[in-house]
Amino acid sequence: MAVKNKKLNLKDKYQYLTRDMSWEPTYQKKEDIYPDERFEGIKITDWSQWEDPFRLTMDAYWKYQAEKEKKLYAIFDAFAQNNGHQNISDARYVNALKLFLSGVSPLEHAAYQGYAKVGRQFSGAGARVACQMQAIDELRHSQTQQHAMSHYNKHFNGLHDAAHMHDRVWFLSVPKSFFDDARSAGPFEFLTAISFSFEYVLTNLLFVPFMSGAAYNGDMATVTFGFSAQSDEARHMTLGLEVIKFILEQHEDNVPIVQQWIDKWFWRGFRLLSLVGMMMDYMLPNKVMSWAEAWEVYYEQNGGALFKDLERYGIRPPKYQDIANDAKNHVSHQAWATFYQYGHATNFHTWMPEKEELDWLSEKYPDTFDKYYRPRFEHWAKEHAEGRRFYNNTLPQLCQVCQIPTIFTEKDDPSMLSHRQIEHEGERYHFCSDGCCDIFKNEPEKYVQAWLPVHQIYQGNCEGGDVETVVSKYYHINIGEDNFDYVGSPDQKRWLAIKGKSSEEKTESAKQDAA
């Protein structure tokens, strides 16, 4: 039984892991074992052409991840013991974490579920193993993000029930429905949506802003999480590119199907990222770069190069890319204005930017901010100063597809909403844009079922007819603690106390040392 060649090289190990642990079935038909592989119309002629560009065996995977985990939790411990939350730039920053914990971390968990599911559905063993590994990564990200932010939950409001809120709160239906849409699609669409369109094309616009934002604002716990996830993200991006090239190389009939998915998932991803845009421009006390600058670098430049590369497969840049590129100068302001006026129904605080922040926005958005947004914000600041903090007491119209209120404006006329409306089988439907309207028209049966938070409240399905009851009972948002303006909030009071107290504490401990 002695094994002569005990040591295998990495390539051999990978080969054994992905190919040689798989087998050709003899007493069951392949299509019965992998029933989801064909219905989307994607044709795979030869799975052996699948090249996982990142060869990682299970034992190497466990080893790397365990090492990263050890370092990560050592830093979390140190952060908690040293009251790291006292070293952040300003308590307003914590609101970005509230948005992340309730909006993004549950998506990591949804991604884990999605990859675990599709990791069973491909008849190619290489693709199955890659998806299974990514599933474990995503689960780890969801967990470590929650651990990174749990320290803040001891000191600030709004972080206490993120998973519950993700399933219920009006604006969280935006990220939730994004992933539900992807997970309820077939396996190839899921990979095109998440691995390619999101992880490869757009992920830098999610990850870099939050992690650099954390670094610029003194949040070492979240920065460390970012470092720990970085190598995973690199692997996910590589998988995203491999997936798309593999599908396109397998059969020319795949090209139009993939193109439609790219159009759809680019647009859905772009809409989802409006939330990140406002986080960058408005919620970070120390700014990293403007949303428009981030979009230029990470989408217009990097994405431009990518789609140039994909041209040889017959793939063109996503439809409505020109609208998205133009909207970089608007979406963050439109989103923040929306959250500001519905700040009585959010698990984080909102506020009007201070004078120097308004000046920064004017400088970063020379063509749009002063013309369209600054007058609105200065009006609101004035109203607030005179004791009339503006809240919109009427619920907004939501887009049937992205579920964001229909707040976006026309490319050629930013003073007009780009609202679209159609009738389908006797029912009226409303959309924020042509992009979302097209997605509906391609698969109306999917979106007629959309659980739109505003309509659910009006149907009486959210434990109450008035906003206050819905917010407190159904959303679990603590009124007067988690919501309303940052100015005058318990978070702000606590922060001022921390800043005031810390000097006293130092004096006391110095006295004790002396004694």
- Which stretches of the chain bind another protein, using CB under 8 A? 35-36, 39-41, 186, 334, 337-338, 341, 371-376, 379, 383, 388, 390, 392-398, 405-407, 409, 414-417, 419, 421, 425, 427-430, 441-446, 448-452, 454-455, 458-460
Using the minimum distance from each CB to another protein, give the nearer residue, 336 or 495: 336
User: Token pair for residue 411?
Assistant: 């490319």
Cα–Cα distances (Å) from 388 to 380, 468, 493, in that order, read 9, 19, 21
Phi/psi at 475 (nearest 5 deg)? -90, -20
Closest CA to 116 of 168, 175, 194: 194
Using the minimum distance from each CB to another protein, give the nearer residue, 444 or 490: 444
Smallest distance from another protein to CB 373, Å: 8
Smallest distance from another protein to CB 365, Å: 14
In a 13 Å sphere around the CA of 389, the CA atoms on its Cβ side amount to 13
Using the minimum distance from each CB to another protein, give the nearer residue, 285 or 444: 444
Specify the amino acid at residue 110. A
Using the minimum distance from each CB to another protein, give the nearer residue, 70 or 428: 428
Smallest distance from another protein to CB 457, Å: 9
All residues at 6 or more sequence positions from 274 whose CB lies less than 8 Å from its CB, including other chains: 331, 332, 334, 335, 404
Specify the amino acid at residue 207. F
Specify the amino acid at residue 387. G
**Is the CB of residue 232 less than 8 Å from the CB of residue 137?**
yes
Per-position b or e across 259-273, b if 16+ CB within 10 A of its CB: bbbbbbbbbbbbbbb
User: Token pair for residue 86?
Assistant: 């006292």
DSSP label at 202?
Answer: I
Q: Look up tokens 């604006």; give the residue.
A: 171
Smallest distance from another protein to CB 188, Å: 10
Using the minimum distance from each CB to another protein, give the nearer residue, 19 or 419: 419
Alpha helices in 16-124 (DSSP H): 30-33, 58-81, 94-103, 105-118
Using the minimum distance from each CB to another protein, give the nearer residue, 156 or 340: 340
Using the minimum distance from each CB to another protein, give the nearer residue, 81 or 459: 459
Q: Look up tokens 């100068």; give the residue.
A: 329
